[in-house]
Structure 1
Amino acid sequence: MTNFNVILFNNFETLDVFGPIEVIGKLGKHYEIECFSEKGGIITSSQNIRVETLPISDINRDGILLIPGGFGTRSEVNNKELIRYIKDLSLCAKFVLTVCTGSALLASTGLLKGIMATTNKMAFDWVIEQDKDVQWIRKARWVKDGKYYTSSGVSAGIDMALGFIADTMGTEVAEKISQGIEYVWNRDKDSDLFC
């Protein structure tokens, strides 16, 4: 079983997290989902959803990492301790997935230099300021470059998670999950209608 590790911080965007978790959670025989934060304890989303988290120091480092976005990223890009953790964990992780402005946190580690990535279109200009050496792709719904998956805003994380499953387990598995959650999967990763 593979660990699917979600990094949370206050004022994360709820659907950035629970959209991909809904997709990954359909494969419970393959993935164990855990939520972590810098110190552990209760973390609250922008929509005031409270989530119990484990301390980030407890993460199994070789799993898959999910980094959501949300208004909390605006302050967390300056949290040197969290950025250090994200960098260390990303180096060890099999795959790193970001949703929305979660790519700003990953970009702040320096690990996306020279790598193709995308982010929320409404926050695009702010995100690219975190590292201008990233090959930012404005039009993409989501981008895969090596072990890094980055997606546009909010619901794009569901499309990316389904794309990740298609890449790692096959398109039929992703389609079955999409049907099971009654979600119309936007399969065109290169074109975001919200661009």
Structure 2
Amino acid sequence: MDERLIVIVGYDSAELLDIACVATSLGMANQIGTPTRPYRVSVAGPGGNPITCGSGLTLQSQQSLERLTGPLDTLIVSGGLGHERAAADQRLVGHIRRLAGESRRVASVCTGASILAATGLLDGRRATTHWRFASQLAAQHPQITVDSDPIYIRDGNIYTAAGITSALDLTLALIEEDHGAQLARQVARDLVTYLQRPGNQAQMSLFTASPPPRDDVVRQLVEHITSHLDHDLNATALAARAGVTTRHLTRLFVEHLEQPPARFVRKARTEAAAHLLASTELPLAGVATRCGFGSTETLRQAFTSRYGISPSRYRAIQTRLSAK
């Protein structure tokens, strides 16, 4: 039987979840769907030696990275605490570059993007990684367009996924690409995970992120913004509420939130709109009003810019998925 050979690359202090999310999802696709071209998943490490993961658990390699040859269907590079050492290991990077040339598609999970970056495969491409390491990747590889927002990105035949459990989202997308949406949804249900989370959905929500550190002014304004989205939240109004100048307000937001007040407000309103679209039957005009958008067109523009799809399309997807 013709198989799809999937190789996951591990190394010392790789993240076990990066590897397990991919392997388990693909294995489940085989069990549930009995595809005509089933997946054969193999973990490859330097020398074929056991991989001591960042958690301290040991994972046995099935393949020696140095002896492995193509053709491969998919090469996936895991992330983990050891990603910097792995990216600096010219032999490991060289073998990944070699195998990438013998693979139909190539992917990384989390900080595995830094290893792909070291191969040069991401040059001139758009890529993502774990939000905590995005600025570091961008500084070290200015030839890459690093976007820290999406859960995963496809650029040509190269895929990069964000932090850890985004490996599930990436793998479900690969399953759908290979075998159709029905099998991907069946796997998602058996994994008890979100069905078809859009790849361009933000990694981290403003409403689940930790409060701004240290500065009381910023913390209080964030609480005010997220609980009064339909109020006047322009910089002048916020500065007056905090008793500071608009210039000082902007400096505080950039220092503590890495974005000016207007951008933070726009994100907060857009994420609130996404929640209302998915969880209520409010008409678009009602969602726009409740979230502080002046019109449905303003909501549409902000939503499309943030999520890559229109509000009505997003609602239709969420309604269809909730009916499954």
TM range, smaller chain: over 0.9
Question: 1:59: which partner in 2?
Answer: 68
Normalising by structure 1, report the TM-score: 0.94
Structure 2: gaps (5+ residues)? 206-324
Q: Does 2:11 match 1:9?
A: yes
Between the two structures, name the one with larger relative contact order (CA 8 Å, sep ≥ 6): 1
Question: 1:38: which partner in 2?
Answer: 46
Question: 2:192: which partner in 1?
Answer: 182
Question: 2:114: which partner in 1?
Answer: 104
The structure with more helix, counted as a fraction of residues: 2
- Kindly indicate whether the alpha-carbon contact (under 8 Å) linking 1:104 and 1:128 is maintained by their aligned counterparts in 2: no
Identity %: 22
Taking structure 1 as reference, are residues 39 and 145 closer, same or farther at Cα in structure 2, changes over 3 Å only?
A: same
Normalising by structure 2, report the TM-score: 0.58
Aligned partner of residue 26 in structure 1, secondary structure: helix
Amino acid at match of 1:174: A
Aligned ranges for residues 149-188 of structure 1 at < 5 Å? 149-185=159-195, 187-188=197-198
Once residues 14 and 114 of structure 2 are traced to their aligned partners in structure 1, the CA distance between those partners, rounded to angstroms, is 13
Root mean square deviation, CA, Å = 1.4
Question: 2:81: which partner in 1?
Answer: 71
Q: Between 111-120 and 181-190, report the one with greater CA deviation.
A: 181-190
* 1:134-178 per-position Cα deviation (integer Å, ceiling 9, x unaligned): 121221110011111110000111111111111222111110100
Amino acid at match of 2:57: I
User: Number of residues paired by the alignment?
Assistant: 195
Once residues 2 and 152 of structure 1 are traced to their aligned partners in structure 2, the CA distance between those partners, rounded to angstroms, is 24
Shift of 1:58: 3.1
Q: Which has the larger radius of gyration?
A: 2
Once residues 41 and 113 of structure 2 are traced to their aligned partners in structure 1, the CA distance between those partners, rounded to angstroms, is 20
Q: Does 2:50 match 1:48?
A: no
- Kindly indicate whether the alpha-carbon contact (under 8 Å) linking 2:162 and 2:203 is maintained by their aligned counterparts in 1: no
Q: Does 2:22 match 1:20?
A: yes
Moved over 6 A (4+): none
Amino acid at match of 1:87: R
Q: Does 2:130 match 1:120?
A: yes
Shift of 1:186: 5.2
